[in-house]
Structure 1
Amino acid sequence: MDVDEETAPSSTTPDDNIRYRYLTFDTALAPVTAPIILQGRIEKQLLPPDLSSLTDPFGWSQARKSTLLTLSCVATTFTAYAGGCYATPIPQMASYWHLSETSLDSGLLIFTVGFALAPMILAPLSEINGRRPIFLTTGVLFVVFSICCGVTKSFAGMMVSRFLAGCAGSTFSAIIGGVVADMYRREDRNTPMTFFTTFVVIGCGLGPLVSGYISQNASWRWVFYASALEIAVVVLAMLFFFKETRGNIALRKKADLLNSWYQACEDAGHPVLDVDVNVPSEKNQSARQTRLARVRWRVRADVERQSIRQMIQASLYLPFYLLFTEPVVFFFSLWMAFAWAILWIMYGALPEMYQSVYGFDQQQQGATFASVIVGAIVSAVFSIVYENYHTRTGIANSTPEQRLYFPATGSILLPIGLFWFGWTSREDIHWIVPTLAVCCLTMGIFSIILAVVNYLADTYHQYSSSAMAAMSFCRNIAGGAFAMFTRQIFQGLGWGGGSSMLGGVAILLSLVPWVLIAYGPRIRARSKFASELVG
């Protein structure tokens, strides 16, 4: 019996003459003649619902997928932009509220706390209610809280607004991976995920770049107004062009339309009947007989899913359980957290260094973040070319460890870039040299992101969302926390010493993927969550 022919549970209905079946995108619906009904003195044909738009997202055209992916990635860019644009106007805000710049740095941390916590509740809701309503709702809130950051008169108001903006904006980063999984099968996801990663890193560089120009030529409040305007444009575009990508939502709408039409047919005296072979015989209860039964459709995911409360509980519990019981999740989360922290350290380090060493103004300081954007773009090109090569040779579909060689090698660029940046940040060396170092370390960070995301997805399969949630939590908290100590690190150790310390840690952590390349199959074999992949 095919999946779409299996009988769904029918205990919720008192009518035993209804045949419930599971609906899939492959279900062949039997043709039913639209009945003619009499309304008053006018005969009217009861036409079936139009189901043409409710199709499997995996089967959508490449143009449609690309449009939705582009919208998602642009939204992600402006979310990352909102996180980093706060850094450049810190001197003006510190002067406005008569506080130290270190106190204002807490605005970076509070944003990432909201960014880390909110998806644990919002992600399960998007699985049940769909991506689109979550995006639109949180998008509107993101715009509102970004405006609040601009209009607030108090430092406390800024902190509250930043936290709420982080909560609302988190969906455009945390759930985009789910959007990619909704539309692309596993073997086709590397290029979309590469684009997603590229836009995230570009947003991290774009925020300080644009806000540096705004801060020097207008009030610091316009930094947040500009961010709100950009997000508003994206939300408006999503309202008109973003279609729901969750397959179970389309199936649910399809089942509801069909069931409503079947009920209308019955009310008109033309019930839709099907053969029911699971009816006990009246003469012999152990025997089975067939009869005609009325048809209704259900969606397996809706019948078998947990309650919202159970899903949220699992979303809050399982990521941390994996983090502290699975060595792969722990060390990859540590590696990713450190790499992401370096990116956030740059928010404080670059403006400080270029101002103190080279005498750059705010606009020039922001412009140096173009090196982050260039590093992301160059890394994306190399990654796509490499993945296409692996696809042609068939290696991409082999073990998760074989996909680690390229990003593990590329991750060495992070410590190289850190040492390069620290020991070339001197007045007697042209400013372009440390700027190229930032481009280099960005490429290393990009490689680490791809390595972690791909390996966790390949290894944990149905548990990959929880594994990535653990990684994302560590990444966001570490990013904001390290940003709080940027000034102390470099003021205490100097640019060379501070960068060398971070570079040394980066070298140690760069051993993580090589350990997995050597011992990954054995480590996975001991995991009850990943052992199913060992063959």
Structure 2
Amino acid sequence: MPRTSSQILSSGDKPGITPPTDRLYPQKADLEESVKDDSEDREGMSDGGGAIVYHYLTFETELPPPSAIHLSSNQSLQSLQSPQSPQSPLPGPPNLKKYTSPFEWSDFHKRFIIWLSCAVTALTAFSAGSYSPGIEQMIAEWHVSGVAALVGITAFTTGFGVAPMVLAPFSEINGRYPVFMVSGILFVICQLCSAVTRSYAGMLVARFFLGVGGSTFSTMVGGVVSDIYHTEDRNTPMALFSGAALFGTGWGPLVCGFVAQNTTWRWIFYLQTITCGVMIALVCVFFRETRGSVLLSRKAKALNRWYEAREAAGYYGFDMPSDSADMEKVSQRIRWKVKSDEERSSIGKMIGISLYRPFHLLLTEPVVFWFSLWVAFSWAVLYLTLAAIPLVFRDKHHFTLSQANAVFASMCIGSILATVLSIYQEKLAKRHGKIASTPEGRLYFSCVESALMPIGLFMFGWTSASRIHWIVPTIAIALATIGIFSVYLAVFNYLADTYHRYASSALAAQSFCRNILAGLFPLVTTQMYKQLTYGGASSLLGGVGALLTLVPWILVFYGPRIRARSRFASEIME
């Protein structure tokens, strides 16, 4: 007798290779016995008769075995015995291994996907920071003001903040991989366009679409993390993701400061065209789909195609559990469907919700509003350094262009230290049972560490003098970076843990605020530091940062009460 589907699918047979005939098809005597024994079961199923029954498929569904061989009435036993009418070959089963739930992937596979995603995130952030070292050459070539030249950063962050609201629904329907691939190609093309453009307007257009292409490798990597890791295991991959974003922002001006001083600003973008092209090629080859609902839909389609091929060859029925108490199983013509496909709205409606709900949460949910303000200010401070660091170190310490941008190495070091600290401090706390099983448990460390951002700002402002060694404000930048990292990671984790099914909208709200404000700060940096003095400007920023540091403290003490009053968060608590 033929093997069951579970035996076939779990066998060592390689996909696409047909096993020996005697393992898949019955011999003549077996066939006669099978037809005789199953004559009653075949009523209503010959010639494709019998209604197809649809069942919901999940990753936990145990696939039923095929019923005994059923032949359509026009395939009589005599015709099967005739050498002129050989038996139709039984179609081989599909390879379902590639549709395994991402939560069940091996640790190596998960780490590889995370490291690949973080590498692309770092390159995306590199593009944001790499623009500033070429500002002086652009001003000279296009005869625009310094503020106008810095609008290239604003154009990038605008595309970065707006695009995910439109692209996110596509990733839910078609998966992460197609969106990553298309966005990556756009990203590389826009890098090349930035390098060859001959006009200021062309640069702004290229930078905007560069932000659109790069946005998926930042905002959606958080979704990739949630696709393959359960909540309790997400701290380490989220720390790596956050560290990659901050590291890349400092790495960009660090490298491109030397490029701009020794060549032309165009080589800043030629260099990125090459490196990003190589990395996107690696993503296209090695990245695998992580969206569970998409994989499940593909698994259902693969099984349904196999069932259709079996029926076309004359083999009907699978043994399904019966609702009747006196029958263990019943043979059915089955097809699979996925609940998430039925619950999904049209793409137009999904884009509408994606554009509307983040702002609705921003204006109606105090947690989303204050967290968005907190992380937006912190991120704006990070981008402010793109203009502030060259200004201070060239003015007060008479650094060259490359030397001033080399100071961004402190930002890279700070992001690495913050990442390592975040990974090991939670492991240590879990070992001693100090981490609570509530969203507020994610905020304990950030309550203390986020204070390093205003401390670093005060220290940077009041040590930016010629008489003080340049290493002191450099250390201040590293401290502020650790504080910004703590804010960034806390906001991502807390909103994801609190809003669950609405988490993507809550994160989209903070992402929009964060990128728009970050794009505006570099435009006013020079005027603010010259009008308020270096110490005064940094003190103003440090004071605002100190006030916003109260946000996690309030949530630690009153978070459960605030969440209970939230219509969106309370749905999860009930």
**TM above 0.5:** yes
* SS across alignment from 2:568: coil
8 Å CA contact 1:408–1:451 kept in 2: the answer is no
| Cα drift, residue 463 of structure 1 | 1.1
Please state if 1:32 is matched with 2:66.
yes
Distance 1:194 1:65 in 2: 15
Look up the match of 2:365.
Answer: 326
Matched, 1:243 2:288: yes
Work out whether residues 333 and 470 of structure 1, in 8 Å CA contact, stay in contact via their aligned partners in 2.
Answer: yes
Larger Rg: 2
Match in the other structure for 1:363? 402
Q: Which SS does the other structure have where 2:435 is aligned?
A: helix
Counterparts of 1:101-500 in structure 2 under 5 Å? 101-275=146-320, 292-500=331-539
Judged with a 3 Å threshold, the aligned counterparts in structure 2 of structure 1 residues 307 and 418 are, in CA distance, closer, same or farther, namely same
- Bigger shift: 456-465 or 365-374? 456-465
Deviation at 1:53, TM superposition (A): 2.1
Q: Offset at 1:34?
A: 10
For 2:96, the equivalent position in structure 1 comes to 51
Name the amino acid aligned to 1:28.
E
Per-residue deviation, residues 245-300 of structure 1 (Å, max 9, x unmatched) = 11122222211111111111111111124458689xxxxxxxxxx97431101111
Amino acid at match of 2:205: V
Contact 2:372 2:509 in 1 (8 A): yes
The separation in 2 between residues aligned to 1:370 and 1:477, in whole angstroms, is 25
* Cα distance in 1 for residues equivalent to 2:429 and 2:363: 33
Cα 1:269–1:430 change in 2 (3 A) is same
**How many residues are matched?**
514
SS at match of 1:269: coil
Look up the SS of the partner of 1:293 in the other structure.
Answer: strand
1:494–1:298 Cα change, 3 Å: same
Distance 1:356 1:258, change over 3 A: same
Distance in 2, matches of 1:345 and 1:85, equals: 14
Kindly state the Cα deviation for residue 515 of structure 1 after the two structures are TM-superposed. Answer: 1.3
Hey, what does 1:20 align to over in structure 2?
Answer: 54
Given the superposition, is the C-alpha separation of residues 184 and 291 from structure 1 closer, same or farther in structure 2, using an over 3 Å criterion? Answer: closer
Shift of 1:484: 1.0
User: Which stretch has the larger CA shift, 299-308 or 489-498?
Assistant: 299-308
Q: Which moved more, 1:36-45 or 1:429-438?
A: 36-45
1:32 CA displacement = 2.8
Q: Deviations over 1:65-124 (max 9, x none)?
A: 011101100010000111111111101100110111111011111111100110001111
The answer as to whether partners of 1:263 and 1:271 remain within 8 angstroms in 2 is no
More displaced 10-residue stretch of structure 1: 164-173 or 293-302: 293-302
SS at match of 1:243: coil
- Structure 2: which 5+ runs fail to align? 1-48
Contact 1:255–1:299 (CA<8 Å) still a contact in 2?
A: yes
**Is the Cα contact below 8 Å between 1:123 and 1:174 reproduced in 2?**
no
SS of 1:461's equivalent?
Answer: helix
Partner residue of 1:516?
555
Contact 1:376 1:443 in 2 (8 A): yes
CA contact (8 A) 2:239 2:489 kept: yes
Letter in 2 for 1:447: S
Aligned to 2:26: none
**Amino acid of the residue matched to residue 128 of structure 2?**
G
CA RMSD in angstroms comes to 2.2
Deviation at 1:403, TM superposition (A): 2.4
Residue type of the alignment partner of 2:525: T
Separation of aligned partners in 1, 2:436 and 2:374 = 25
**Aligned counterparts of 2:339 and 2:573: Cα–Cα separation in 1:** 29
Measured after TM superposition, the shift of residue 405 of structure 1 is: 1.7
CA distance in 2, matches of 1:59, 1:478: 39
Residue 50 of structure 1 aligns to a residue in which SS?
Answer: coil
Aligned partners of 2:310 and 2:316 also within 8 Å: yes
**Alpha-carbon separation, structure 1, partners of 2:321 and 2:472:** 76
1:175, CA displacement in angstroms?
Answer: 0.5
Work out the CA distance in 2 between the residues paired with 1:441 and 1:148. 34
Change in 2 beyond 3 A, CA 1:47/1:329: same
1:530 correspondence with 2:569: yes
**Distance between the aligned counterparts of 1:91 and 1:167, measured in 2?**
25
Conservation of the 8 A alpha-carbon contact between 1:274 and 1:294: no
Q: Deviations over 1:447-494 (max 9, x none)?
A: 111121111112111111111110000000010011111111101111
Offset at residue 173 of structure 1 (A) = 0.5
Distance 1:330 1:111 in 2: 24
Q: Structure 1: which 5+ residue stretches go unaligned?
A: 1-14, 280-289
1:532 shift after superposition: 4.0
TM-score norm. by structure 2 comes to 0.86
Give secondary structure in 2 for the equivalent of 1:458.
helix
Distance 2:94 2:540 in 1: 65
Task: Give the Cα separation in 2 of the matches to 1:119 and 1:414.
Answer: 27
SS at 1:294 equivalent: strand
Report which stretch shifted further, 63-72 or 353-362: 353-362
Cα distance change on mapping 1:34 and 1:69 into 2, 3 Å: farther
Between the aligned partners of 1:186 and 1:296, the Cα distance in structure 2 is 33
Relative distance call for 1:294 and 1:154 in structure 2 (3 A) is same
**Are the aligned partners of 1:73 and 1:196 in contact in 2 as well (CA < 8 Å)?**
yes
TM-score, with structure 1 as normaliser: 0.92
Cα separation, 2, equivalents of 1:508 and 1:250: 45
Q: Please tell me whether the aligned partners of residues 46 and 265 of structure 1 are also in contact (alpha carbons under 8 angstroms).
A: yes
Alpha-carbon distance in 2 for matches of 1:252, 1:457:
25
Q: Which moved more, 1:385-394 or 1:336-345?
A: 385-394
- 8 Å Cα contact 1:19-1:274 kept in structure 2: no
Secondary structure class of the residue paired with 2:465: coil
Amino acid aligned to 1:122: L
Q: How many Å separate the matches in 2 of 1:50 and 1:474?
A: 44
Distance 1:411 1:70 in 2: 26
Q: C-alpha separation between the residues in 2 aligned to 1:251 and 1:524?
A: 32
Would you say 1:76 and 2:114 are equivalent positions? Answer: no
Q: Hey, what's the Cα distance between the residues in 1 that align with 2:428 and 2:248?
A: 28
CA distance in 1, matches of 2:139, 2:210: 20
Say which SS state the counterpart of residue 88 (structure 1) adopts: helix
Answer with 470-479 or 453-462: which moved more: 453-462
Contact 1:146 1:225 in 2 (8 A): yes
Contact between 2:529 and 2:537, CA under 8 Å: does it hold in 1? yes
Asked if the contact 1:34/1:47 (under 8 Å) is kept, the reply is no
